[in-house]
A and B are shown apart, each in its own frame.
Chain A
């Protein structure tokens, strides 16, 4: 809104002066209102301007956006929808390595070898009269005999599925799990932390007790316990990670709220009659958002890794889906045979995304921190 100048600039405030109309202040050019007022840039716009100035952050933002585009494409089926297709020979190496030499795949048991039995058994074979008929019917059946390729850009797994497609499809699941679980954990941690920090007392004691219970149990054990109860599936993984991962964020948000609830601007809000909810979420929350943001980005990174561990242990995503975790789990057996490309691809995808995401969150933190503002 560019604020059309209002005639009321110079008008006495409605009911503001019980002692008669307000006298105009000589320090103020009351008549100078007609020029449209210039609006200051908002917090988010300032943050964006600062963010744009940070080259590392911008680069990582581009990388993250590229990943997100990839995920959307994968989710809508534009790419990698056929990741289950076995289009190469098992464990086909990446193209740049060239086809495997000296291994005549596919000719292990030729049909000619069995078609000519050494002894003619047609006399005693009760099915012998029907062989010709069956052969005829088999010939009528259309079988698409696909020629399996020898190499793929990033190789194939033991079933001959394209590793690149798998990695793209895996990105969809892994990042989805990481971000959704982090969001959920952030909401839980922020709300509980805000309550504990703002109100303290009995509420705080109870939430601290809850926190202690959750942190007293070793993380991985807690994850196992939840996994055992909730069964298998992507939604379960999200839930498990969120329910176990909120504790660190809770602690930090609680500390921030304790610090801020004593600040004068919050007291001033209380003095004008702002409700507790408004003070917690309208006043304090935006001022601690940078802390939450950083913590959330760490959670995303941590949860992506946790999902990998869960899938590796067989508690993660179901067998008919693929994630970076399942790829790494498969890679275990392949490595012994020297088929390293699945491991390398999954690792590279994960490393690039996780690094870019962390750097981007770092940039956001710097751009949003109210303490750094005005220091430019």
Chain B
């Protein structure tokens, strides 16, 4: 097998700053690997590891302030020195790309057909009619139902998964030799992710092309790839066959990455944190499983047939009811965690927001400490606000960029009159920062100075200022890297043990839910389809939908190399 693409000692740096104060920030520091023909090579790493920059430098799709050195050999030709027209001839024709977010990768003002025909007409010189016919064929190949009708559709009329199929169809239009897929399934639900992964594997076999698959998810990588390159901080930590990487990882970082991900099969008390693992510190993963929780702890939150509908305007006067959440019942005990899982659009976030009355519910009861939250007057409601708090998904959006961390933490205390004066509140805020594992300097800093994981810690500290009894965690760790995710999950566990918090943990990630939850609620189309203890749901799912969700979770590399067979 000869190398289709060979990257040798690639270095990429970005020039930043304005006149006078220019700095060069290296992003990729000497990366080398080969992509053989007809092979799927996975680039794995956390955010900031330089994996996307490496891939984008192949076709020079980087911004203008990037400078590249080294060699990128495409069938013996160096792409770094190739002229613009030469690269343009390669782009789409021999090397094609699929990006993470299909919604923003498709042009919203052109129909699917027009966008699909463009590469066909441009690169293959097809006529309009022939191109349309070929486009229809391509859509059919990617498994999109009713391809003829879809040609006239616009991107917003398709779902995320369908859009990604269109993107793949576009990429494969000219039967490229190499497909660069940059986190193609990250924005999609697990079930859709599985379909797209299968599609990519099928097309790879059919067209006998190579795939450069970029992902942060080792589970996905283990299933789809033949070879794996692990990157961190712009360097290659380890590369090898998928079996070797997963069964006998040589590098400490690879081992840590594999260990810190919560799995569906066992539940340790704590997750391994990468730095600890590398320095050979505590191997928390092997510690005793979590202490059993008191099954008779007092119920803090009871929800009865909660419902929320949105009304969509229709015609001049009419409106249509859309039931986002209906008939949700559950009880949450002190110190327990309720996991809520479901695909996007299943109403899990709406349910969480309705609990806090951030959405006005349409019906049902939320009994908190004997009082129905939904019928409280404004004053009593303000008192209850203290006791039930929420952490949002996106740590970059949930902190006010104009407030220092100190201001962010003091504000809720000032509103609720906690602490006698500002000095006391400041003390308390500092103590809470320490509790969530942040340095005291944090107090005077602004959110943009922190990473996602640190911001999420601040968001958690903000909730804790009010001594809540229930925390709603709305996809609170979904936007974080695996290693940071592990840290935040451990923190949440510790806080729960220490403060007796009850969590409503909303997530699409079943492995994470399994790690943290005692009971799991499976939602679909606004309704609860299954409700049981975490272990029970995973071991013996009763509903077809739950089984489908579980089946779609990528399980990484499995010992027999038929990794793509449905589990």
Residues of A within 8 A of B (CB): 3, 6, 8-19, 22-25, 27-30, 33, 37-40, 42-43, 53, 263-265, 267-275, 278, 283, 286-287, 370, 373-374, 376
Known: A16-B428, A53-B18, A263-B397. A286 touches B402 (CB 8 A): yes
Is there an interface contact between A265 and B466, defined as CB atoms closer than 8 Å? no
Query: Which B residues are CB-close (under 8 A) to A271?
Result: 356, 358, 385, 389-390
Residue from the list B392, B424, B431 in contact with A267, Cβ < 8 A: B392
Provide the B2-13 mask, 1 if CB < 8 A to any CB of A, else 0.
000000000000
Query: Which A residues are CB-close (under 8 A) to B435?
Result: 13, 16, 22, 25
| B273 CB, min distance to chain A CBs, angstroms | 10
Is there an interface contact between B431 and A8, defined as CB atoms closer than 8 Å? yes
Residue from the list B17, B404, B432, B500 in contact with A16, Cβ < 8 A: B432
Is there an interface contact between B398 and A268, defined as CB atoms closer than 8 Å? yes
Residue from the list B402, B428, B441 in contact with A37, Cβ < 8 A: B441
| B85 CB, min distance to chain A CBs, angstroms | 32
Residues of B within 8 A of A (CB): 16-18, 20-21, 353, 356, 358, 382, 385-386, 389-390, 392-394, 397-402, 404, 411-412, 415-416, 419, 424, 426-428, 430-432, 434-435, 437-441, 443-446, 448-449, 459, 462-467, 498-500
Q: How far is the CA of A185 from the CA of B295 in the complex (A)?
A: 62
Is there an interface contact between A264 and B394, defined as CB atoms closer than 8 Å? yes
Known: A16-B464, A28-B434. A264 touches B397 (CB 8 A): yes
Is there an interface contact between B390 and A268, defined as CB atoms closer than 8 Å? yes
Residue from the list A11, A53, A268 in contact with B392, Cβ < 8 A: A268
Given contacts A269-B411, A272-B465, 16 further A-B contacts (CB under 8 A): A6-B430, A8-B427, A14-B419, A16-B464, A18-B499, A18-B500, A24-B434, A30-B434, A37-B440, A39-B444, A265-B398, A265-B400, A272-B462, A272-B463, A286-B402, A287-B402
How many A-B pairs have beta carbons closer than 8 Å: the answer is 139
| A364 CB, min distance to chain B CBs, angstroms | 15
Query: Which B residues are CB-close (under 8 A) to A278?
Result: 415
**25 A–B contact pairs at CB < 8 A?**
A6-B426, A14-B424, A16-B435, A16-B499, A17-B499, A18-B467, A18-B500, A23-B498, A38-B444, A40-B404, A263-B397, A265-B399, A268-B390, A268-B392, A268-B399, A268-B459, A269-B400, A271-B356, A272-B415, A272-B465, A273-B415, A275-B415, A278-B415, A283-B400, A370-B402
| B461 CB, min distance to chain A CBs, angstroms | 10
Q: How far is the CA of A16 from the CA of B432 in the complex (A)?
A: 9
| A26 CB, min distance to chain B CBs, angstroms | 9
Known: A28-B434, A37-B440. A272 touches B411 (CB 8 A): yes
Q: How far is the CA of A67 from the CA of B386 in the complex (A)?
A: 52
When C-beta atoms are compared, the residue in chain A nearest to B359 turns out to be: A267
| A92 CB, min distance to chain B CBs, angstroms | 47
Residue from the list B17, B404, B449, B466 in contact with A376, Cβ < 8 A: B17
| A7 CB, min distance to chain B CBs, angstroms | 9
Q: How far is the CA of A24 from the CA of B20 in the complex (A)?
A: 46
Is there an interface contact between A40 and B446, defined as CB atoms closer than 8 Å? yes
| B465 CB, min distance to chain A CBs, angstroms | 8
**A contact patch SS:** loop
In the A-B complex, the 10 residue pairs with the smallest Cβ-Cβ separation, listed nearest first, are A272-B412, A8-B427, A264-B398, A374-B448, A13-B431, A286-B402, A39-B444, A273-B385, A264-B397, A40-B445
| A370 CB, min distance to chain B CBs, angstroms | 5
| A44 CB, min distance to chain B CBs, angstroms | 10
Is there an interface contact between A40 and B444, defined as CB atoms closer than 8 Å? yes
Query: Which B residues are CB-close (under 8 A) to A23?
Result: 498
Q: How far is the CA of A187 from the CA of B439 in the complex (A)?
A: 40
When C-beta atoms are compared, the residue in chain A nearest to B16 turns out to be: A376
Is there an interface contact between B431 and A9, defined as CB atoms closer than 8 Å? yes
Q: How far is the CA of A348 from the CA of B538 in the complex (A)?
A: 78
| A207 CB, min distance to chain B CBs, angstroms | 19
Query: Which A residues are CB-close (under 8 A) to B404?
Result: 40, 42
Query: Which B residues are CB-close (under 8 A) to A9?
Result: 430-431, 434, 440
Is there an interface contact between B428 and A14, defined as CB atoms closer than 8 Å? yes
Residue from the list B393, B400, B428, B443 in contact with A13, Cβ < 8 A: B428
Known: A6-B427, A268-B390. A43 touches B402 (CB 8 A): yes
Is there an interface contact between A273 and B386, defined as CB atoms closer than 8 Å? yes
Residue from the list A10, A15, A373 in contact with B434, Cβ < 8 A: A10
Query: Which A residues are CB-close (under 8 A) to B465?
Result: 272
Is there an interface contact between A373 and B448, defined as CB atoms closer than 8 Å? yes
Is there an interface contact between A267 and B428, defined as CB atoms closer than 8 Å? no
Q: How far is the CA of A370 from the CA of B399 in the complex (A)?
A: 12
When C-beta atoms are compared, the residue in chain A nearest to B396 turns out to be: A264
Query: Which B residues are CB-close (under 8 A) to A38?
Result: 441, 444
| B296 CB, min distance to chain A CBs, angstroms | 17
When C-beta atoms are compared, the residue in chain A nearest to B398 turns out to be: A264
Q: How far is the CA of A326 from the CA of B438 in the complex (A)?
A: 63
When C-beta atoms are compared, the residue in chain B nearest to A5 turns out to be: B440
Residue from the list B416, B440, B448, B498 in contact with A17, Cβ < 8 A: B498
Query: Which B residues are CB-close (under 8 A) to A268?
Result: 390, 392, 398-399, 459, 462
Is there an interface contact between B444 and A3, defined as CB atoms closer than 8 Å? yes
Known: A28-B437, A40-B444, A272-B412. A15 touches B467 (CB 8 A): yes
When C-beta atoms are compared, the residue in chain A nearest to B431 turns out to be: A13
Q: How far is the CA of A40 from the CA of B439 in the complex (A)?
A: 13
| A198 CB, min distance to chain B CBs, angstroms | 15
| A62 CB, min distance to chain B CBs, angstroms | 19
Q: How far is the CA of A16 from the CA of B425 in the complex (A)?
A: 12
Is there an interface contact between B464 and A272, defined as CB atoms closer than 8 Å? no
Is there an interface contact between A19 and B466, defined as CB atoms closer than 8 Å? no
| A259 CB, min distance to chain B CBs, angstroms | 12
Known: A16-B428, A272-B466, A273-B416. A37 touches B444 (CB 8 A): yes
Is there an interface contact between A40 and B449, defined as CB atoms closer than 8 Å? yes
Query: Which A residues are CB-close (under 8 A) to B464?
Result: 16
Is there an interface contact between A287 and B428, defined as CB atoms closer than 8 Å? no
Q: How far is the CA of A370 from the CA of B447 in the complex (A)?
A: 11
Query: Which A residues are CB-close (under 8 A) to B440?
Result: 9, 33, 37
When C-beta atoms are compared, the residue in chain B nearest to A46 turns out to be: B446
Q: How far is the CA of A14 from the CA of B462 in the complex (A)?
A: 15
Is there an interface contact between B430 and A264, defined as CB atoms closer than 8 Å? no
Is there an interface contact between A273 and B434, defined as CB atoms closer than 8 Å? no
| A275 CB, min distance to chain B CBs, angstroms | 8
Q: How far is the CA of A328 from the CA of B43 in the complex (A)?
A: 69
Q: How far is the CA of A33 from the CA of B353 in the complex (A)?
A: 39
Query: Which A residues are CB-close (under 8 A) to B424?
Result: 14
Is there an interface contact between B402 and A25, defined as CB atoms closer than 8 Å? no
Is there an interface contact between B358 and A267, defined as CB atoms closer than 8 Å? yes
When C-beta atoms are compared, the residue in chain B nearest to A55 turns out to be: B19
Is there an interface contact between B437 and A37, defined as CB atoms closer than 8 Å? no
Query: Which A residues are CB-close (under 8 A) to B385?
Result: 271-273
Query: Which B residues are CB-close (under 8 A) to A42?
Result: 404
| A373 CB, min distance to chain B CBs, angstroms | 6
| A194 CB, min distance to chain B CBs, angstroms | 16
Known: A265-B398, A268-B462, A271-B390. A12 touches B17 (CB 8 A): no
Query: Which A residues are CB-close (under 8 A) to B18?
Result: 53
Query: Which A residues are CB-close (under 8 A) to B498?
Result: 17, 19, 22-23
When C-beta atoms are compared, the residue in chain A nearest to B335 turns out to be: A19
Is there an interface contact between A25 and B434, defined as CB atoms closer than 8 Å? yes
Q: How far is the CA of A27 from the CA of B438 in the complex (A)?
A: 8
Query: Which B residues are CB-close (under 8 A) to A265?
Result: 397-401
Is there an interface contact between B499 and A13, defined as CB atoms closer than 8 Å? no
Q: How far is the CA of A226 from the CA of B441 in the complex (A)?
A: 56
- Chain A CB count within 10 A is highest, among B16, B431, B448, for B431
Is there an interface contact between A370 and B401, defined as CB atoms closer than 8 Å? yes
Q: How far is the CA of A272 from the CA of B461 in the complex (A)?
A: 12
| B401 CB, min distance to chain A CBs, angstroms | 5
